[in-house]
Amino acid sequence: MTVTDAPAQVLDASFASDNVAGVSPEILQALSRVNPDSALPYGADSVTAELREVTKEIFGSRAEILPVFNGTGANVVALQALLPRWGAAICSLQAHVNNDEGAAPEHVGSLKLLPRPTLSGKLSAADVEAEMKNLGFVHAAQPLAVTLTQSTELGTVYTPEEISSIAAAAHGHGLGVHMDGARISNAAAALGCSLGEITTEAGVDVVSLGGTKNGAMAAEAVVVIDPDRVRGTDYIQKYSMQLASKQRYVSAQLLELFGTDLWRRNASHANAQAATLGRALSEVEGVTLSRPTEVNATFPEVPAAVADAIRQRYLVHVWDTAASGNPVLRIMCSWHTSDAEIEALLECARRA
């Protein structure tokens, strides 16, 4: 074998993201339980019916849930239902929906996004007010919704008070509020609150409820909290190709995750492991944390030699370049991250 024939090095993906982890054993068991018997398709099954009841317990008596395949689909379905064809959604410049959906909102949903620059990835009521200058101006797409990423791509968390302030500003101008909750479990666990406290009670109208990043397998959902503001989701779900025939398999995962405390246990573990990793990395010579570790992502600023050593072994992303010129890495933990995996990464950094 020549040098050019040698296989490429396979990097350890343990810290690349939280969706690299496998499926929680509890969820695999739930899938096994719903598998033996036949069931009606397209959400007419008993598992989905039970999920609907649990959804009302969490998000309020008017809440409706539509299981979907992925987070992109959830966001596009939710925003289409929230906006008329002439509407646009205000978002953070760093929002996942703005940077990581492959233009699906624009191409599939025919949506216009209005990104606002932020320091921490979080919008404010002032951002909403700033976009109101075009409300009623026929030459501009109308800002008629706000979309919040919880937790954000920068690992920051909206508090219930911050969400309430944004929702009040949005509702005051007739705008709807969407939450991209791909990592909503991590945010609620970090805040020590319920899912309802950072959604229904804070004034959110529709939520993309994330499961895949917290131990599920291809299971997300659109949760309509206010059916008066968010209409037609069942039709939009179908024509957006997000309606599963054997929906009980998606519903069973969401039911196991959110019908028990599994969502909180998994998210709390991921958050705690990221905090442990962040603290230990900051003790390595030359390494500092670029921001506090709030959820399951830590962002160390590291010397180039340390970054090279880590990235020769691990698949991690260079997220930014610090004022010092050193790279800032994004290192993520999951429900499955072990102490041994953390120690191996730390040893790699220390040797460098």
pTM (predicted TM-score): 0.94
Q: What is the pLDDT of residues 285-338, one digit of tens each?
A: 999 999 999 999 999 999 999 999 999 999 999 999 999 999 999 999 999 999
Assess whether 313 and 183 both reside in one domain. no
In the chain, which ranges are continuous DSSP H helix? 25-34, 46-59, 71-82, 96-99, 104-107, 125-131, 160-172, 184-191, 233-239, 248-258, 262-282, 304-313, 339-351
Structure tokens at 348: 């790699």
Assess whether 228 and 338 both reside in one domain. no
Burial of 168: CB neighbours in 10 Å, binned 0-12, 13-18, 19+: middle
Give me the count of residues in the chain: 352
Closest CA to 276 of 306, 256, 298: 298
Q: What is the pLDDT of residue 148?
A: 98
Contact present, 46 and 251 (Cβ < 8 Å) = no
Assess whether 178 and 252 both reside in one domain. yes
Report whether pLDDT(6) > 90. no
Assess whether 343 and 223 both reside in one domain. no
The mean per-residue pLDDT over the stretch 189-197 comes to 98
The tally of domains found in the chain comes to: 2
Q: Which residue has the tokens 């037609």?
A: 232
Contact present, 204 and 166 (Cβ < 8 Å) = no
Could you give the CA distance from residue 326 to residue 314 in angstroms, rounded to a whole number? 18
Cβ-Cβ contacts under 8 Å for 139 (sequence gap 6 or more) = none
Cis peptide bond prior to 251, omega within 30° of 0? no
Q: The domain containing residue 306 runs over which residues? A: 3-20+263-351
Contact present, 79 and 86 (Cβ < 8 Å) = no
Could you give the CA distance from residue 305 to residue 310 in angstroms, rounded to a whole number? 9
CA dist list (Å): 242 to 31, 53, 55, 318 = 19, 21, 19, 33
Report whether pLDDT(244) > 60. yes
Q: Three-state SS for 277?
A: helix
Which DSSP category does 284 fall into? S
Q: What is the CATH number of the domain that holds 244?
A: 3.40.640.10
Q: What is the pLDDT of residue 110?
A: 86
| Alpha-carbon 25 to chain mean position | 21
Cβ-Cβ contacts under 8 Å for 32 (sequence gap 6 or more) = none
Output phi, psi for 297, to 5 deg: -125, 135
Q: What is the pLDDT of residue 8?
A: 53
The mean per-residue pLDDT over the stretch 109-115 comes to 93
Report whether pLDDT(128) > 70. yes
Residue 192: CB atoms within 10 A of its CB come to: 9
Report whether pLDDT(78) > 60. yes
Q: Which residue has the tokens 């990221």?
A: 274
Could you give the CA distance from residue 125 to residue 337 in angstroms, rounded to a whole number? 36
Assess whether 84 and 197 both reside in one domain. yes
Task: Show which of 244, 260, 276 is a domain's final residue.
Answer: 260
Q: What is the pLDDT of residues 247-280, one digit of tens each?
A: 999 999 999 999 999 999 999 999 999 999 999 9
Lowest mean pLDDT segment, chosen from 4-8, 75-79, 340-344: 4-8
Assess whether 57 and 14 both reside in one domain. no
Cβ-Cβ contacts under 8 Å for 4 (sequence gap 6 or more) = none
Assess whether 160 and 244 both reside in one domain. yes
Task: Show which of 260, 287, 322 is a domain's final residue.
Answer: 260
Assess whether 62 and 173 both reside in one domain. yes
Q: What is the pLDDT of residue 34?
A: 95
Q: Is residue 29 part of a domain?
A: no
